Chains A and B, each alone.
Chain A
Amino acid sequence: MSEWIMVCLLEEIPRLGSRVVHSGKGEIAVFRNGSDEVFALMDKCPHKGGPLSQGIVFDRKVTCPLHGWTVQLDSGEAVAPDCGCTRRYRVRVDKGEVHINLS
């Protein structure tokens, strides 16, 4: 059974920005892109663990602020030629509320 938890309202995440959620599983970055799609990733770059939440968001990607790796928001995978993956969480927007599923 899946557990959906509301974390915030969509409007509380700036467009092309993110918010950080503290959870029992560590910090989770919740992103909102230019088309109001929402994504959630473990807030650790596959390169050296940089906080992806603090990166610049574009398209369906975010660039890590530490060394400039770009990570795909919809899969958590680093954009080639870099190689690596960060954990992705399911997320949905319902009546303007952002829900996340940590299972």
Chain B
Amino acid sequence: MKKPSLVVIGNGMAGVRTLEELLKLAPDLYDITVFGAEPHGNYNRILLSPVLAGEMTIKDIMLNDVDWYAQNGITLHLNKKVTQIDRVRRKVIADDGTEAAYDRLLFATGSNPVMLPVPGRDLPGVVSYRDIKDTDEMIEAAAYYRHAVVIGGGLLGLEAANGLKLRGMDVTVVHLMPWLMERQLDRTAANLLQKSLEAKGLKFLLEKQTAELLPAQIPPSPPFAKGGAMEATDVTIPTFEKGGARGDLRVGAIRFKDGTEIPADLVVMAVGIRPNTELAEAAGLHCERGVAVNDTMQTYDPRIYAVGECVSHRGTAYGLVAPLFEQAKVCANHLAQFGISRYTGSTTSTKLKVTGIDLFSAGDFTGGEGAEEIVLSDPSGGVYKKLVVKGDKIVGSVLYGDTADGSWYFQLLRDGQNIRELRDRLLFGQNHLGNAGHQGQNRAESMPDSMEVCGCNGVCKGTIVKAIKEKGLFTLNDVRKHTKASASCGSCTGLVEQILASTLGGAYAPTPAEKPVCTCTEHTHAEVRKSIRQHKLLTIPEVMRFMEWGTPDGCASCRPALNYYLVATWPHEAQDDPRSRHINERAHANIQKLGDYSVVPRMWGGVTSPDQLRRIADVADKYQIPAMKITGGQRIALAGVKKEDLPKVWADLDMPSGYAYGKSLRSVKTCVGNAFCRFGTQDTLGMGIALEKAFWGMWAPHKVKFGISGCPRNCSEAAIKDIGVIGVESGWEIYVAGNGGTKTEIAQFLVKVKTQEEVMEYAGAFMELYRQEGYYLERTAQWLQRIGLDFVKRHVVDDAKNRGELYRQLLDALEARKDPWQERTQEGAERQEFRVLEILEEVPA
């Protein structure tokens, strides 16, 4: 059967990104044809500024070369502009007569630069700044002429001006408004910016309105730099031929409304862009500022989709890359006939790509009614930071000079996170929040290429930068997939994001806060949990059917998550699926690098006995266990056990599983407390053993560790445990969500109580809340950062009834638990896991 055909008009970043997303989801669904008006493959338009500045070449910024289209079976028409769409016969026609029929049509025509309607705009030497051709013209002009004038002091204009200056021209920026980049910056930041650009040699004329562009007096204008007798018109390229009535005269000066004039051999118009809707309008599609689309990126003609700068979505047309990529993803999802994704608009941020100038702007920096400003201003140090806050949330931010925390503020802004508690330290940045983690803010740019970024996978900065440039990576996930950097423990995620941001400049799209569970689905963890609860889904296939999973049986990322959500939500009804658990939780031991296992029996509260120790020693002898190790959780690990031996080892140990392998309660670390210690105030051993006996075998989003100390000296390190209980004379202090691992987090004070029973109830309620609300693989510390301590206090401290209910739910979920080792030492289906099949003799050749 013939495949339906998809025609894409526009070979830019949005259109091709949509195709890439589509090919990932449904590689063989369509016959694809792409029309591009430019003679190039798909390139990264955002990086034209570094090309103009001579820091990169066109080759560096190609995203998909012509081979890519061939490899993916895509018909590519370069240099052909589509001029007509016949919606009745469903075909498009290009300017050279090429026709292509479509079943689905994708508009990605981008935008056109706005040309000021002033006399002289058609003169040779007047260019816009949009594509490779414009950039080439500017580079050429810079080689032969002296005076450049850039009209427009916005992002693009300043980048153009900077590039031309670096190429040796004398550059003046003309701007209509009283300060530069007025849509992204307030006056103070703009003044700082202007000062440092002036220091680089740029000149500025503000509040100047262009009246006319004048031709050069003596034709042709004499080249000053090189080439001797070369005529000015020799460097002009086709579009210049339409010099019009004034013949071949090149632009020579610019005159303003106030009558003043300055020389100009090159005029760059960078006053804005306008969605390119000409073709869509001619085809009768409804257009607003851009081609109007709904949340599924469909135009008023359901066969026709549109993405990118040509689009108007809920009244907004975007000119930055991050929203375009979000649109591309949604559009691809619908083209692939998955139909489960919606685009609801984007919050955007801006960075200026001028080397040596750090500038970041996001959201609404003017604030308006009810907004407050938090400002740090150090004019001679060249640092200015402003956060606009409304109702305890960041609504806008302008950073100049020190932008290291830009992505952090942007994240807080997009998440709408309550910043009340951070407020006094907010401006000093994420590193001043009192955590000692190595997030790597501000370090990326100054790092040498040879420096290791990801310790887990041994990835250096240079490798990451190379992959970003060569493979055209844009997101954290891309980098993880290709380089493995930050793909393991994740502690260098901040640093990798910084490297992405500094390599890509404005093209960097921060990872969305709410990510899909994995690439099998568009749904987030929160959505999956909600559906399981609301619709009482009990098995993984049921969830996948109900939520329209994109793959037949998921993958190694989503299946364990789904399995956890099912058993945590419906502990007595959902069937645990061993095939969706990591081998550690299936074999109930920890797999080691050589494929054997370590075994850690439970020692309640870290307390042992001669009899236990004797048994452990005997087992180690009998099974020739190569190593024994005291763990950090006050237990003994037997390392290097063969899988086949596990059930026998467990049987001989005759001790319960320590769950040292599971997303579950691991160790409860105690000090000796008032039983022996002269400082001890409480019975910590009794407390620790009681907690461990109550909560062992509890599945959780991630591993959980407790620490119980008998005095504030805190010998059991309770301050870096998921639950830390510290005894004082008058009772117990309970701390939550500490972490001693990847990123050290100090546990936060939850409540102080009097009795052991109260500790049990508060700790249990906190655990159950985490079990119900945490996302799979989210430690308590990350979870708390996401939902806030207030949320926990509301549910666990302030509301006694709710606390009791949570505690009851946890005890109820734990009612049917069985010790997994004991279960597996008995004969039964579970033992099959540990049996190797018969041994085959050497096969005769």
Contact = CB atoms under 8 A, between A and B. Distances in A.
Given A12-B832, A51-B595, A66-B593, A59 B552 contact: yes
Given A20-B837, A63-B555, A66-B593, A56 B482 contact: no
Given A55-B556, A56-B582, A22 B840 contact: yes
B552 A34 contact: yes
Contacts of A58: 551-556, 559
B556 A68 contact: yes
Contacts of A21: 836-838, 840
A7 interface: yes
B46 to A, nearest CB: 24
Interface in B628-642: none
B792 to A, nearest CB: 32
Contact residues on B (Cβ < 8 Å of other chain), bracket? 20 to 34
Contact residues on A (Cβ < 8 Å of other chain), bracket? 35 or more
Contacts of A23: 839-840, 843
Nearest to B582: A65
Nearest to A21: B837
Given A7-B837, A22-B840, A70-B556, A16 B579 contact: yes
Nearest to A61: B555
A7 B840 contact: yes
B245 interface: no
B482 to A, nearest CB: 5
Contacts of B591: 51, 54, 65-66
B111 interface: no
A57 B580 CA distance: 8
B553 A16 contact: yes
A3 interface: yes
B837 to A, nearest CB: 5
A59 to B, nearest CB: 6
Contact of B841 (A24, A54, A55, A70): A24
B482 A81 contact: yes
A97 B591 CA distance: 30
B840 A102 contact: yes
Interface string A38-52: 000000000011110
A35 B584 CA distance: 25
Contacts of B555: 56, 58-59, 61, 63, 70
A17 interface: yes
A58 B558 CA distance: 11
A15 interface: yes
Nearest to B471: A81
A14 interface: yes
A57 B579 CA distance: 8
B152 interface: no
Contacts of B838: 7-8, 21-22
Interface string A2-29: 0101011000101111011111110000
A66 B555 CA distance: 16
Interface in A50-102: 50-51, 54-59, 61, 63, 65-68, 70, 81, 102
A22 B843 contact: no
A67 B582 CA distance: 12
B227 interface: no
A81 to B, nearest CB: 5
B830 to A, nearest CB: 11
Contact of B556 (A14, A50, A63, A81): A63
B486 to A, nearest CB: 13
B843 A56 contact: no
> Which residue of B481, B552, B559, B595 has the most chain A CB atoms within 10 A of its CB atom?
B595
A34 B553 contact: yes
Contacts of B840: 5, 7, 21-24, 102
Given A3-B843, A51-B595, A19 B553 contact: no
B592 to A, nearest CB: 9
B840 to A, nearest CB: 4
A69 to B, nearest CB: 10
B643 to A, nearest CB: 8
Contacts of A81: 481-482
A68 B125 CA distance: 56
A5 B838 CA distance: 11
A58 B554 CA distance: 6
A35 B551 CA distance: 13
B543 to A, nearest CB: 14
Contacts of A15: 579
A33 B554 CA distance: 12
Interface in B493-521: none
B82 to A, nearest CB: 34
B844 interface: yes
Contact of A17 (B481, B579, B839): B579
Interface string B579-590: 110111011000
A17 B833 CA distance: 10
A56 B841 contact: no
Contacts of B845: 103
Contacts of B67: none
B553 A24 contact: no
A22 B837 contact: yes
A29 B321 CA distance: 46
> Which residue of B587, B836, B843, B845 has the most chain A CB atoms within 10 A of its CB atom?
B843
Nearest to A30: B837
B515 to A, nearest CB: 17
Contacts of A55: 556, 583
A101 to B, nearest CB: 9
Contacts of A16: 553, 579-580
Given A54-B591, A56-B582, A63-B556, A103 B843 contact: yes
B394 to A, nearest CB: 35
> Which residue of A15, A22, A50, A58 has the most chain B CB atoms within 10 A of its CB atom?
A58
A57 B560 CA distance: 12
B842 interface: yes
Nearest to A35: B552
> Which residue of B481, B552, B593, B840 has the most chain A CB atoms within 10 A of its CB atom?
B840
Contact of B843 (A5, A14, A54): A5
Contacts of B839: 22-23
Contact of B837 (A19, A50, A54, A103): A19
B836 A22 contact: yes
B595 A54 contact: yes
B844 A24 contact: no
Nearest to A56: B556
Nearest to B580: A56
B499 to A, nearest CB: 18
B560 A24 contact: no
Interface string B549-588: 0011111100110000000000000000001101110110
A51 B592 CA distance: 10
A78 B837 CA distance: 26
Given A24-B841, A59-B552, 5 more contacts: A12-B832, A24-B843, A56-B555, A56-B580, A63-B556
26 contacts: A8-B838, A14-B832, A17-B579, A19-B836, A21-B836, A22-B836, A22-B837, A22-B838, A24-B840, A24-B841, A24-B842, A33-B553, A34-B552, A49-B594, A50-B593, A54-B591, A55-B556, A56-B555, A56-B559, A56-B579, A63-B556, A65-B582, A65-B583, A65-B591, A103-B843, A103-B845
Closest 3 CB pairs of A and B: A24-B842, A63-B556, A54-B583
Interface of B: 481-482, 487-488, 551-556, 559-560, 579-580, 582-584, 586-587, 591, 593-595, 832, 836-845
